[in-house]
Structure formats: C-alpha cells, structure tokens
Amino acid sequence: MDLSKLEFTALIALKADIESEIKHREVEEKFKAKKQIIELARAHGLSVEDVLSGKTATARKPVEVKYRHPDDSNLSWTGRGRKPAWVQAWIDSGKTLEALTI
C-alpha cells in the first residue's frame, strides 16, 4: 500500500482503523497469554497464586545458632554476616570465638 497516494482524510481514517484494530488484538493477545500461563502452571502442579507469590515450593530452613554468650543466653549469633558487637567485645577482651560455640 502506497500511503503517499492517499488523501489526508483517508490517512486519518486509516489511522483510526489501525488504532482500533491494535486495541482489539491487544485484548485477544492478553487473553491468549493468560490462558497459556494458566495451562502451563496447571501442567506443573501450580496454582496461579503460587506463580504470582514468587515463593518456591520448599521453604528455607532458618540458620541454626552457632554461638551464644555464656552469661546471657539472649545473645546469640549464627556465624553469618558481620560479627555482633557483643562477639567483637568478647574477642577484643582476649577471649576466643571458640569459647562461644554451642
């Protein structure tokens, strides 16, 4: 189709028709995609809620505490991440980290 040969009003009408068709097809494509997503989820034993939640089927087990203060059982540390202030103070006082091991 050679658009340069169309009248201005015909171009405007064509533009409106194209925008209308795009909206119509967008609705159809979204419906098809939604149907495919639901079918794929069901084929893998998932509900749509499972897929949308982003959570995995298996929950992670919390990391167990590896170190505990001998005088205050509320002070504990898994050994991961930055050392808590109480652990650093313990080490700075000349005591060993191994002494805190549970």
**pLDDT score recorded for residue 56:** 62
Contact predicate 77/66, CB 8 Å = yes
**Domain extents for the chain?**
3-53, 67-100
Query: pTM to 2 decimals?
Result: 0.45
Which pLDDT score is estimated for 47?
85
Measured between alpha carbons, how far is residue 86 from residues 12, 74, 101 in Å?
74, 11, 14
The reported pLDDT for the residue numbered 53 is 79
Averaged confidence pLDDT in the chain: 91
pLDDT at 51: 82
**pLDDT-based confidence at 48, cuts 50/70/90?**
confident
